[in-house]
Each structure stands twice: as C-alpha cells, then as structure tokens.
C-alpha cells in the first residue's frame, strides 16, 4: 500500500484476498471488486478505484497524477488535495445512500481524510516531500478503506435480511 496510510482493520470483516500470480509470485489484487454489494455500491466502488488508480499509479512509470501535480509548487499540492477530497465526497455520498451507521460513516471519513492530510503534509515539504509523494498512495488506501466499510455494511445488511442468521448469531453468544 502506501507509506504511513491507515489501512482497514482485518479482525472485524474478512476482506477477500484475491491472489494473482505475477512472474511466479503471488500478489494481492487490490483492484478486484468483491461480491455481495448492491449494484449502486459496486458501481461506486469501481469508479472510486479507477479514479484512485489514475491519481496514484496511471500517468507514467507507475506514478500517478497526484505526485506529478505535487511537483508544481503550492498550486499542484492544493489541487492534489482537492481531487482527493472530491473522491472522498463521492464515497460519502454512496455511504449515505447505503444508510451506513453513523459511527461507521464518521470512522471511514475520518480515516480517509487523515490519509489525505498525511499525504498533503508530506507533499508540502519542498524537494524531499515531492520525492516521497511518489510513494505515498493515499487514494489507493482510501479505496481499500471504502471497500472494507462497504463489505462490513453489506454483511450487516445480510444479517438483518436473513432472520435465521441473526437468530443463530444471537444464540451463539
């Protein structure tokens, strides 16, 4: 992932590890969309991940638009932050439409915003910050956080829909 970025906790919700083989080595495919989401959530997550990929990886040489914009003094860093915040705003809209619990929504948005703030603080450091900005992938980390909370919410939704599942869980504890 990126340097110093908040990643989703693994103990609450199992995020599937989609393993792919690249040059004989197994790697995690972070870009695959999990099953169990609504059509709107799936479309929103796909869009989020595509844009995050452009911002973090897709311009040239494995680097994205965000670190390249950061090379432009002051304006580039602010533009990168603005683009990242617009991406977070789209995730917020989807989460509100999916009726996330308030605690989960606030937690997701605060972690995403903190990732962008850390990326911006690194990028604002002259020369050295611009160098490290090429390795900080805040938008990709935010995509993984968004996916984590969508999966968590979809599992909660499935427990409410399937009363037998809720009953089994309540008797087990």
Query: What pLDDT does 7 receive?
Result: 58
Query: What pLDDT does 14 receive?
Result: 52
Per-residue pLDDT of the chain (173 residues; tens, 9 = 90+): 455 565 555 544 455 555 555 667 766 666 677 777 888 888 999 899 889 988 888 876 778 888 888 888 889 989 999 999 999 999 999 888 877 777 888 999 999 999 999 999 998 888 898 888 888 889 999 999 998 888 888 877 665 544 554 443 433 43
Q: Provide the CA 47 distance to its chain's centre, in angstroms.
A: 11
CA separation for the pair 105, 113 (Å, rounded)? 12
Query: What pLDDT does 91 receive?
Result: 92
Query: What pLDDT does 166 receive?
Result: 46
Query: What pLDDT does 167 receive?
Result: 42
Query: What pLDDT does 169 receive?
Result: 45
Other Cβ atoms closer than 10 A to 38: 15
Retrieve residue 173's tokens: 């504890």
Query: What pLDDT does 99 receive?
Result: 78
Residues in a beta bridge with 21:
26
Query: What pLDDT does 173 receive?
Result: 39
C-alpha dist (Å) from residue 18 to 5, 9, 12, 31, 54? 21, 17, 18, 9, 21
Retrieve residue 140's tokens: 């990709």
Contact present, 112 and 88 (Cβ < 8 Å): yes
């Amino acid at each position: 992932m990126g340097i110093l970025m908040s990643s989703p906790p693994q103990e609450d919700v199992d995020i599937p590890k989609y393993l792919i083989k690249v040059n004989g080595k197994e790697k995690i495919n972070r870009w695959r969309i999990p099953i169990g989401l609504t059509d709107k959530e799936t479309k929103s997550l796909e869009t989020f991940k595509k844009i995050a990929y452009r911002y973090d990886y897709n311009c040239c040489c494995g680097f994205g638009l965000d670190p390249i914009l950061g090379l432009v003094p002051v304006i580039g860093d602010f533009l990168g932050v603005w683009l990242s915040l617009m991406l977070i705003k789209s995730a917020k809209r989807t989460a509100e439409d999916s009726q996330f619990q308030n605690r989960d929504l606030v937690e997701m948005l605060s972690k995403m915003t903190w990732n962008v703030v850390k990326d911006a603080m690194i990028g604002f450091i002259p020369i050295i910050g611009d160098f490290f900005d090429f390795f900080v992938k805040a938008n990709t980390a935010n995509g993984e956080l968004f996916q984590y909370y969508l999966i968590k919410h979809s599992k909660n939704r499935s427990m409410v829909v399937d009363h037998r599942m809720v009953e089994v869980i309540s008797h087990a504890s």
